[in-house]
């Protein structure tokens, strides 16, 4: 696989969407020029250390943190994410997971990585079949490799095809997602109840999807849930 990837990069090298230099879709130089998401509570949008949800905002969210890399409104970020999702350019995700794992390590105090488990936001099987891959799963698996944290792609299953959330209003998104996910109880029973979950997705807008999954995990007595996303709309 590494040889195939090397040959592919030589024959058709990646080019930065911003500056057109080779070997990256988003090169480090251009990445640092793009506005990053400042550390804040995702519920009230005010400053918070390490992206933590404020105590007084916890009643509105089932997750403890929402760590976000950058802004979806940036034209380069928007095009990169769309191309990675809808035009089979999954190699684009390589640059993103390298930036994401560093951001995760900067904003979570990992005393023992054995206490953590990475989970991608699942995709409905038919949609995954039509796209050939789940972008969140690719991100999760590679972040797991870089951080040495275990990844599980089967703990949470999407049982309802909800369509594209981006086309719905905030109210409709919440209704649309009800009963869309299930927990694999066999896998859950094997997990330490003290496990901390890191939920991976590419983009978050109303946080309805991650909050719905987080609610399921909370009911299963998972003590800490961290969202990690490329961008917020």
Contacts of 3 (CB under 8 A, 6+ apart): none
Answer yes or no: is 7 within a domain.
no
Answer yes or no: is 162 within a domain.
yes
Q: Is residue 139 predicted with pLDDT exceeding 60? A: yes
Q: Is residue 193 predicted with pLDDT exceeding 90? A: no
Pick left, alpha or beta for residue 215 (phi over 0 → left; psi -120 to 50 → alpha; otherwise beta): alpha
Answer yes or no: is 106 within a domain.
yes
Answer yes or no: is 5 within a domain.
no
The full DSSP string for 149-171 is -EE-SSSEEE-S----GGGS-HH
Answer yes or no: is 86 within a domain.
yes
Can you give the residue range of the structural domain that contains 55?
25-232
* pLDDT for the residue numbered 87: 82
Q: What is the CATH number of the domain that holds 82?
A: 3.40.50
For residue 147, what pLDDT band results from cuts at 50, 70 and 90?
very high
Give the number of domains in the chain: 1
* pLDDT for the residue numbered 163: 61
pLDDT digits (tens, 9 = 90+) for 89-133: 888 999 999 999 999 999 999 988 999 999 999 988 777 767 788
* pLDDT for the residue numbered 129: 66
Answer yes or no: is 17 within a domain.
no
């Amino acid at each position: 696989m590494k040889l195939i990837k090397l040959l592919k990069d030589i024959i058709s090298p990646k080019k930065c969407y911003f500056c057109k230099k080779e070997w990256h879709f988003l090169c480090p130089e251009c990445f640092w020029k793009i506005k990053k998401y400042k550390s804040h509570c995702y519920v009230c949008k005010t400053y918070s250390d390490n992206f933590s949800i404020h105590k007084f905002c916890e009643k509105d969210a089932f997750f403890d943190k929402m760590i976000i890399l950058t802004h979806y409104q940036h034209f380069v970020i928007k095009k990169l994410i769309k191309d990675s999702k809808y035009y089979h350019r999954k190699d684009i995700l390589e640059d993103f997971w390298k930036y994401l794992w560093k951001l995760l390590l900067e904003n979570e105090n990992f005393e023992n990585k054995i206490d953590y488990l990475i989970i991608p936001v699942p995709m409905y099987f038919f949609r995954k079949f039509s796209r050939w891959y789940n972008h969140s799963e690719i991100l999760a698996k590679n972040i797991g490799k870089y951080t040495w944290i275990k990844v599980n792609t089967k703990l949470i299953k999407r049982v309802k095809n909800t369509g594209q959330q981006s086309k719905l209003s905030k109210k409709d998104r919440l209704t649309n997602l009800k009963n869309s996910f299930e927990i694999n109880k066999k896998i859950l029973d094997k997990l330490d109840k003290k496990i901390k979950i890191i939920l991976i997705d590419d983009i978050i807008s109303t946080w309805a999807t991650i909050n719905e999954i987080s609610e399921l995990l909370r009911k299963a007595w998972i003590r800490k849930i961290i969202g990690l996303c490329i961008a917020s709309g």
